[in-house]
Amino acid sequence: MAAPTAQASHPRGGPPPPRGFPLPSTRRHGGGRRPKFGRDRRRVALLMLTPATIHLVWWIGVPVAATFVLAFMNYDILAGTATFTGLDNFRAIFSDSTWNASIWHTVVFTFFTVPVAMAIAVVLAVLLNNKIRGRAWYRAAIFMPHITATVAIALVWMWMFEPRIGIFNTALGWFGVKGPVWLGDPSWALFAVIMVSIWKGVGIKMLIYLAALQAMPQDVYEAAALDGASKARTFWSITLPLLKPATFFVLVVSIIDSFQAFDQLYVLTPDGGPANSTTVMTYEIYTKAFKEFQMGQACAMSVVLFAFLLVLMLISRRVTGREDDVR
């Protein structure tokens, strides 16, 4: 019998295949089963994720779970025994005046450090996003404190805060002002640490904002320029709204970092500073756990710190909006 002259139509509506070629099958392999190469790729993906998953569960998941359990127990680290005490650890820490003061110091530290550093970072990012001479050197110089060891930075700032020969008091002396004992005065110690933290944290925030600025659509700025918008108007009406996703990310990371601040406080103001004026939550947790060996109370403090961070993250989400993508 002669072969039919009419060509069969393509099952997907495209042009008909050449004569003599078989039509592609629309059935799935193996009676509805997925092809073998898909299973192989999933196995490889799971195999590659296994080391990271084990590391995450063992070094983060298990300690976090143990912290929540030990917060309700009296754990003797030397004897290795633990007894359930209910909410006694939480009652004990909230009746401790030092812990309550550390919460206030942490809130003050975060309130001044995060917004000021973010505002400075936005201004620097906008300035360094322009084509100015030597901007690569300026970017590197501003980012350098972030990658410098905190202990080394703290030692330099301790010399700058020195009451007799320090840079700050020397500069104030030129105007006839007697500088304070920055790190030895309870009224100035926390402020001095805030200054150091702002200076150290501006670089990474500026880098994130700079990356966000370089990813912005330029046609929006061109349209604003054609409409005669000033630079200030463009900044407030275009740049800041488009920076909202980056602002949320920077805000969350900055709050977490400020609530976990420890090393610069430990070096600049040992033992919580004069009259516990720089004692923050992380330092009090360290003291309870590794100086007084009150592991149950230290875990209870860690749970309270986690609750603070969770609430602040929700507030930050509400303040900065729900847009995750630059539109």
**Cβ partners under 8 Å of residue 229, min gap 6:** 237, 238
pLDDT at 211: 92
Measured CA to CA, the distance from residue 198 to residue 117 in angstroms comes to 5
* C-alpha closest to that of 60 among 72, 48, 52: 52
Place of tokens 């004897």: 79
φ, ψ (nearest 5 deg) of residue 74: -100, 100
- Measured CA angle at 207 (ends 119, 56), to 5 deg: 110
**Residues paired with 74 in a beta bridge:** 83
- Segments of the chain with pLDDT less than 70: 1-37, 320-327
Reported as a single tens digit per residue, the pLDDT across 292-311 is 889 999 999 999 999 988 98
pLDDT at 222: 83
DSSP string, 286-320: HHHHHTS--HHHHHHHHHHHHHHHHHHHHHHHHHH
To the nearest 10°, report the CA torsion of 281, 283, 285, 287. Answer: -140
Measured CA to CA, the distance from residue 170 to residue 189 in angstroms comes to 18
The model carries a pTM of 0.79
Measured CA to CA, the distance from residue 80 to residue 204 in angstroms comes to 42
Instruction: Dump strand ranges (E) for the chain.
Output: 73-76, 81-84
pLDDT at 14: 53
- The CA-atom distances, in angstroms, between 27 and each of 20, 23, 31, 64, 295 are 21, 12, 7, 48, 62
pLDDT at 1: 46
